[in-house]
Amino acid sequence: MADSSFAPTAYHVREGGQGISLKVESYSLWYGAAQALWNVDMDVQKGLCTALIGPSGCGKSTLLRSMNRMNDLIDGLRTQGQMVIDGEPIYGSRIDVIALRKRMGMVFQKPNPFPMSITENVIYPLRVDGVTDRKLLAEAAEAALRGAALWDEVKSRLNESALGLSGGQQQRLCIARAIAGNPEVLLMDEPCSALDPIATAKIEELIDELKGRYTIIIVTHNMQQAARVADNTAFMYLGRLIEYGDTKAMFEKPLVKRTEDYLTGRFG
Amino acid sequence: MTQTTTAASGAAPTKPVVIRRQARSDLSARGEPFVWLMGAALVIGLTMILGFLAFVIYVGALTFWPSPIEVVTRADGRVVAGEVFRAERYRVPEEVVAAASDDVKAKIATDLGFADRTLYRVGNYDIFGEDFVWVSEFDKKSVAFPRDIYMIERVEWGPFIGRIKEIDLAGTKIADPSGAKVAAAHKAAEARRKEIERIDKVDIAGVNHEIEELRLKVRRGELDYGADSAEAAATKADVAKRTEALQVRYEALGRKVAALRQTDETYVATLEAIDGQTKTLPVSRFMRLYRANDLSSEEKFWIYGSRWAEFITGPPREANTEGGVFPALVGTLTMMVLLSLAVAPFGVVTALYLREYAKQGPLVSFIRICVNNLAGVPSIVYGVFGLGFFCYIVGGSVDQIFFPEKLPTPTFGSGGMLWASLTLALLTVPVVIVATEEALAAVPRTMREGSLACGASKWQTIWRIVLPRAAPGIMTGLILAMARGAGEVAPLMIVGVVKLAPELPVDFTFPFVHFERSFMHLGFHIYDVGFQSRNSEAGRPMVFVTTLLLISLVLMLNAFAIYVRNSLKRTYQTGQF
């Protein structure tokens, strides 16, 4: 499939006013011999919520997981190009990956609380940093749980196992865990795909509250969700970034034919 | 799809092939015979295991039950008294048949040359020279159960079966031995025997130990400063003075024992065997005596319980065929604990490296295959390795460096608790590695990713998330390893298990756990009692009782480990994953 079959990438991004948080510079990625991302260029606006949409296998999750180098775990992975967070490069031989990940919280498709108490789950990033001051930890736990709109539901059972929470609560706990480490960017990989509509609505509400404080990048296969929560939306197809722009404008009048086809459900 | 087919064939559409499916699936398709086969296999396996267990429990539990003593008068007038041990049908030898009377001959002939016979445990080995006597059914003239026949368990020479003629309590002669006076005398005698044992094993052994320590001190001084240095001479003089004091203590203890022994000699019983031979024995030589044919159920239970108590808490007697197995029990338990302590970290660390850090490739696959194959190496090979490597090379070096003054007597340079445990750890480590690797692989990827995304390092992720989550699986491996370790005897015989260990591997003298000592083991005890003793017939009941104890021990250890595993599971693995 030749590159020319794709229309050139169209940009019409809404500015957040705080500058650029994360910059993707002609980034390509291979799983062994198969190329999964082709020359992606993208500037993520600070303080806004950016959605990555596209059909299954288009590389949106791969792109997201490249941002905090979660893909490092995969054997036979090769990348080209660069990503930059606040002026600092993400790829390179001298990068401290652990320090990098501390700057970005991540929420996964399936809620993945650890087999510990609710409090211990939330303060896990601090425990990892070696914080032992009990008062500080308790405060951080409360702040993060309040930030994730979970405090009122769990404050009476903070020392019980996190595995006893409902799916939606577990996912909000994971969000609390992600923000407890005080990151700059929140990466969300289809955070609502395993949840029911009510839990989904709560998470979306939460995303709305959190943006501004954090730069949020969310992968979703639900176009309505993207329309509801995202300021900017990037549409990807077959490993390429096809169109990237202001969500409202893009959903009303896409500039690229392929984006329009996808948004109107003609393929996907 | 249809379109492509037509396009490919390029001709006019052919008639579609209709496959008519069977309305009913046949027997093999439904898998019914295979279910039966699997069920049958399971039933056969279970029956064998349960049958074995039932047999061991039956024989083992009945061994200590006091049985009555039959007094049999044979055709030629000789009398035999003993407990019925077992009975069987045998082919009567020609010469016996020839010597028998006519009606016996006729009876044997109608039974096609066979007859029944009973094995009696007659005891009195010191008088008769044999413990057991076969009596044929046709040879029995009469059988009686006289009430005055005693079963007397003695400290040595096995049981005595017969009557008590007279008891001489330091001059007071008593004919009837069932009175309270005799019981009190027996109790006092037993106390004296225990006191003598205590002085022998604790006090005198302690003095000997101190003398040995002093001798070693002189030797150390000679080694450190040279044989004719002033320091060595000073130590020698000091030690000589202290040894003298110890000698005095030693002699005092010896006198005490002699006095006790002398008192003992004045309390004696004259016993009469069933054939009239008599024997005089100090009362202190009796372990237990009862009228076998005159016991109430309550007394029987009491004897039964006291025999079990002696078995579990007492030392062995009579070349292990009587008495208890306490040293073997302690040895087995200590070894199992040491084995677990050694095998768990070793196996887990190896598996962690193999699964989490090593780059998966042909080399790691090869190593994995090797580890799996190690589990199949005959255990005696490990024993030989343990002797060569642990005892001789490692232990020998340890002796050279830390215990030069004791040489040429080896300290760690011969078989012992530590080397036996390490040999078994080596034997069972493949099981732990394989189980741990599987448990690690089963930790969901999402858990690791969640931890890494929080900024945890790989090691933090493993330590805080992966290992707790894999702990139940690791415990399973440990349980299997312990079960295998408990069942091994062959390698232990080479690296430290002995027939009779003078000292326990764990005791109250510093440093409390003596890794260098050789020890006794229940598995070896079974082999020894059953097949190595003077009289294997007498040892056979003990074989089953010891087997029962070993099985119970393994069962208890496993139950404990399973309990720990389940509580780990509750903590780390519940939830909706």
Is the confidence at residue B274, as pLDDT, over 90? no
Q: Which residue of B has its CA nearest to A123?
A: B454
Q: Say which DSSP state A117 is in.
A: B
Q: Verify that A25 and A123 share a domain, yes or no.
A: no
Minimal C-alpha gap between A101 and chain B (Å)? 5
Q: Which residue has the tokens 């002669």?
A: B173
B355 and chain A: CB distance < 8 Å anywhere? no
Q: Look at residue A195 in the predicted model and tell me its pLDDT.
A: 85
pLDDT per position as a tens digit, B494-553: 888 888 877 788 777 777 778 888 889 998 988 888 887 767 677 788 888 899 998 888
Q: Look at residue B573 in the predicted model and tell me its pLDDT.
A: 66
Q: Which residue of B has its CA nearest to A117?
A: B571
Contact B324, B314 (CB under 8 A): yes
- Domain ends where: A161, A176, A191? A176
Find chain A residues with C-beta within 8 A of B452's C-beta.
70, 73, 101
Is the confidence at residue A50, as pLDDT, over 90? yes
Q: What is the dihedral of CA B105, B107, B113, B116, to 10 degrees?
A: -120
pLDDT per position as a tens digit, A158-176: 888 888 888 889 999 999 9
Q: Look at residue A29 in the predicted model and tell me its pLDDT.
A: 93
Minimal C-alpha gap between B346 and chain A (Å)? 26
pLDDT per position as a tens digit, A238-251: 899 988 989 998 88
Establish if A261 belongs to a structural domain: no
Pairing of strands A215-219, A49-53: parallel
Q: Look at residue A10 in the predicted model and tell me its pLDDT.
A: 66
Q: Look at residue A4 in the predicted model and tell me its pLDDT.
A: 41
Q: What percent of chain B is predicted at pLDDT more than 90?
A: 19
Pairing of strands A10-12, A240-246: parallel
Minimal C-alpha gap between A177 and chain B (Å)? 8
Find chain B residues with C-beta within 8 A of A110's C-beta.
446
Nearest to A101 among B455, B468, B469 (CB): B455
Q: Which domain holds residue A216?
A: 9-103+183-254
Contact B246, B211 (CB under 8 A): yes
pLDDT classification of A1: cutoffs 50, 70, 90: very low
Mutation target among A98, A118, A123, A159 for the B interface, most CBs of B within 10 A = A98
Contact A267, A88 (CB under 8 A): no
Q: Verify that A16 and A99 share a domain, yes or no.
A: yes
Looking at every residue in chain B, the average pLDDT score rounds to 85
Q: Verify that A83 and A128 share a domain, yes or no.
A: no
What is the arithmetic mean of pLDDT over B295-300?
89
Q: Look at residue A64 in the predicted model and tell me its pLDDT.
A: 93
Minimal C-alpha gap between A117 and chain B (Å)? 10
What is the arithmetic mean of pLDDT over A6-12?
64
B50-54, B409-413, B415-419: range with highest mean pLDDT: B50-54
Nearest to A115 among B455, B457, B468 (CB): B468
* Closest C-alpha among A94, A32, A39, A103 to residue A67: A103
Helix (H) or strand (E) holding A24: strand A20-31
Q: Look at residue B32 in the predicted model and tell me its pLDDT.
A: 80
Q: Look at residue A9 in the predicted model and tell me its pLDDT.
A: 67
Pairing of strands A215-219, A185-189: parallel
Nearest to B460 among A70, A128, A164 (CB): A128
Nearest to A125 among B455, B468, B574 (CB): B455
Q: Verify that A13 and A92 share a domain, yes or no.
A: yes
Among the listed ranges B178-187, B306-315, B367-376, B428-437, which one has the minimum average pLDDT value? Answer: B178-187
Alpha-carbon distance of B215 to B247, in angstroms, equals 13
What is the arithmetic mean of pLDDT over B182-199?
83
Minimal C-alpha gap between B362 and chain A (Å)? 15
**Contact call for B452 and A177, based on CB within 8 A:** no
- Output the DSSP codes for A48-95: SEEEEE-STTSSHHHHHHHHTTGGGGSTTEEEEEEEEETTEESSSTT-
Per the structure, how many domains does chain A have? 2
Q: Verify that A92 and A190 share a domain, yes or no.
A: yes
Nearest to B455 among A75, A98, A163 (CB): A98
Q: Look at residue A3 in the predicted model and tell me its pLDDT.
A: 43
∠B359-B360-B365 over CA atoms, to 5°?
Answer: 130
Q: Look at residue A268 in the predicted model and tell me its pLDDT.
A: 55
Establish if A264 belongs to a structural domain: no
Q: Look at residue B575 in the predicted model and tell me its pLDDT.
A: 45
∠A128-A133-A136 over CA atoms, to 5°?
Answer: 90
Find chain B residues with C-beta within 8 A of A163's C-beta.
574-576
Establish if A267 belongs to a structural domain: no
Establish if A4 belongs to a structural domain: no
Cα dist. B572→A126, B420, B462, B564 in Å?
21, 35, 14, 12
Mutation target among B443, B452, B454, B460 for the A interface, most CBs of A within 10 A = B454
DSSP H helices in B136-275: 180-198, 205-225, 230-266
Which residues are CB-contacts of A240 (< 8 A; sequence separation ≥ 6)?
A: A6, A9, A38, A39, A40, A59
A259-268, B65-74, B223-232: range with highest mean pLDDT: B65-74
Q: Verify that A39 and A87 share a domain, yes or no.
A: yes
Which residues are CB-contacts of A208 (< 8 A; sequence separation ≥ 6)?
A: A229
What is the arithmetic mean of pLDDT over B220-244?
79
**Contact call for A68 and B453, based on CB within 8 A:** yes
Burial of A125 (0-12, 13-18, 19+ CB in 10 A): buried
pLDDT per position as a tens digit, A115-137: 888 999 999 999 998 888 899 99
Establish if A259 belongs to a structural domain: no
pLDDT classification of B365: cutoffs 50, 70, 90: very high
pLDDT per position as a tens digit, B3-46: 444 444 455 667 888 888 877 777 777 778 888 999 999 999 99
Find chain B residues with C-beta within 8 A of A167's C-beta.
576
A106 and chain B: CB distance < 8 Å anywhere? yes
Q: Verify that A59 and A131 share a domain, yes or no.
A: no
The terminus-to-terminus CA distance of chain A in angstroms comes to 18
What is the arithmetic mean of pLDDT over B155-173?
82
The per-type count for chain B, helices as H runs and strands as E runs, is: 21, 13
Q: What are phi and psi of B159, to 5 degrees?
A: -75, 155
Q: Verify that A139 and A203 share a domain, yes or no.
A: no
What is the arithmetic mean of pLDDT over B214-240?
79
Establish if A266 belongs to a structural domain: no
**Contact call for A128 and B468, based on CB within 8 A:** no
In single-letter form, the type of residue at position A87 comes to G
- Model-level pTM? 0.79
B contact residues 454-483, partner A, Cβ 8 Å cutoff: 454-457, 460, 464-465, 468-469
Q: Look at residue B276 in the predicted model and tell me its pLDDT.
A: 83
- Residue A24's CB is within 10 A of a number of other CB atoms, namely 22
Q: Say which DSSP state A256 is in.
A: S
Q: Verify that A36 and A56 share a domain, yes or no.
A: yes
**Contact call for B446 and A178, based on CB within 8 A:** no
Which residues are CB-contacts of B513 (< 8 A; sequence separation ≥ 6)?
A: B334, B505, B506
Establish if A262 belongs to a structural domain: no
Q: Which residue of B has its CA nearest to A127?
A: B456
Alpha-carbon distance of B455 to B434, in angstroms, equals 30
**CATH assignment of the domain containing A203:** 3.40.50.300
Contact B488, B379 (CB under 8 A): yes
Pairing of strands B267-273, B160-169: antiparallel
Minimal C-alpha gap between A185 and chain B (Å)? 12
B35-49, B135-149, B466-480: range with highest mean pLDDT: B35-49
What is the arithmetic mean of pLDDT over A7-17?
71
**Contact call for A164 and B575, based on CB within 8 A:** yes
Q: Verify that A17 and A96 share a domain, yes or no.
A: yes
* Closest C-alpha among A130, A90, A81, A114 to residue B571: A114
- Residue A102's CB is within 10 A of a number of other CB atoms, namely 21
Find chain A residues with C-beta within 8 A of B572's C-beta.
115
Alpha-carbon distance of A253 to A232, in angstroms, equals 14
Q: Verify that A205 and A84 share a domain, yes or no.
A: yes
What is the arithmetic mean of pLDDT over B341-350?
93
What is the arithmetic mean of pLDDT over A71-77?
84
Q: What are phi and psi of A80, to 5 degrees?
A: -145, 155
Q: What percent of chain A is predicted at pLDDT more than 70?
A: 96
- Domain ends where: A176, A198, A225? A176
**Crossing angle of helices B522-531 and B326-352, rounded to 10°:** 130
Contact A101, B455 (CB under 8 A): yes
Neighbouring-strand partners of residue B241: none
Alpha-carbon distance of A25 to A48, in angstroms, equals 19
Find chain A residues with C-beta within 8 A of B460's C-beta.
128
Q: Look at residue A6 in the predicted model and tell me its pLDDT.
A: 54
Q: Look at residue A145 in the predicted model and tell me its pLDDT.
A: 92
- Domain ends where: A125, A141, A176? A176
Q: Verify that A231 and A194 share a domain, yes or no.
A: yes
Among the listed ranges A172-186, B100-114, B323-337, which one has the minimum average pLDDT value? Answer: B100-114
Establish if A260 belongs to a structural domain: no
